[in-house]
Amino acid sequence: MEKNEQIKLEELKILEETYRGAVPQLKFDSVFELLVAVILSAQCTDKRVNEVTKILFPLADTPEKILLLGQSKLEEIIKPCGYFRAKAKYIFESAQILIDNYGGEVPSDFDELIKLPGVGRKTANVVTSVAFKTPAIAVDTHVFRLANRMKLAEGSTPLEVELGLQKIIPREKWSDAHHWLIWHGREICKARNPKCKDCPLSKICPSSTI
């Protein structure tokens, strides 16, 4: 085994020990609520999304209720999440497609999910992983940054990083590893001024400043 690979495996071991049992921060009670929350989370914090969905979901927590709510009212409610017009359009159009083509249910198949407006690989991976327990690695800004910074899987695109992580992480741990990386990115390995002195990976991380 090459030294670089040994370091990657040790990094993953420490992450697992540190963040074992980590779960999504988004609040939801159904697959549709999860889909909406993940669409809203683009360029927005999970904390802010939870504040918005706390208002939205009691009013509209199904595709049918989203359509009854109307796109203008939806825009008004989700405005704090940013890019609210585009997100409202995606959610509204997706609700209609789910009713027309899937009996109002969110499909479990990745290829079907990415056909929905506003649903890319990251969103589809989160939904299949969290809601349907299918191993997946969703590459958000945290995962992308950490994978490159820690040299776990270097790449210039989210897809390159996703494929790289799939090679080094056992498939049965893909979904869990996604959460380890997210929480480490939030708590320690921040985009600006990472807390290397507080990092359990500081002795082996290639980008450590100590």
pLDDT range class, residue 209, cuts 50, 70, 90: confident
Assess contact for 16 and 180: CB atoms under 8 A: yes
Flag whether pLDDT at 5 surpasses 90: no
Residues in the chain: 210
> Catalytic residue among 8, 87, 122, 176, which?
122
> Catalytic residue among 13, 29, 100, 140, which?
140
pLDDT in tens, 105-160: 999 999 999 999 999 999 999 999 999 999 999 999 999 999 999 999 999 999 99
Supply φ then ψ for residue 150, to 5 degrees.
Answer: -85, -5
pLDDT in tens, 13-49: 999 999 999 988 999 999 999 999 999 999 999 999 9
Q: Which residues contact 201 (CB under 8 A, 6 or more apart)?
A: 11, 14, 15, 150, 208
Assess contact for 136 and 111: CB atoms under 8 A: no
- For the segment 57-82, the average pLDDT, to the nearest whole number, is 97
Query: Which pTM does this prediction carry?
Result: 0.92
Told to judge if 122 belongs to the known catalytic residues of this protein, a careful annotator would answer yes
pLDDT range class, residue 2, cuts 50, 70, 90: low
Supply φ then ψ for residue 92, to 5 degrees.
Answer: -65, -45
Told to judge if 109 belongs to the known catalytic residues of this protein, a careful annotator would answer no
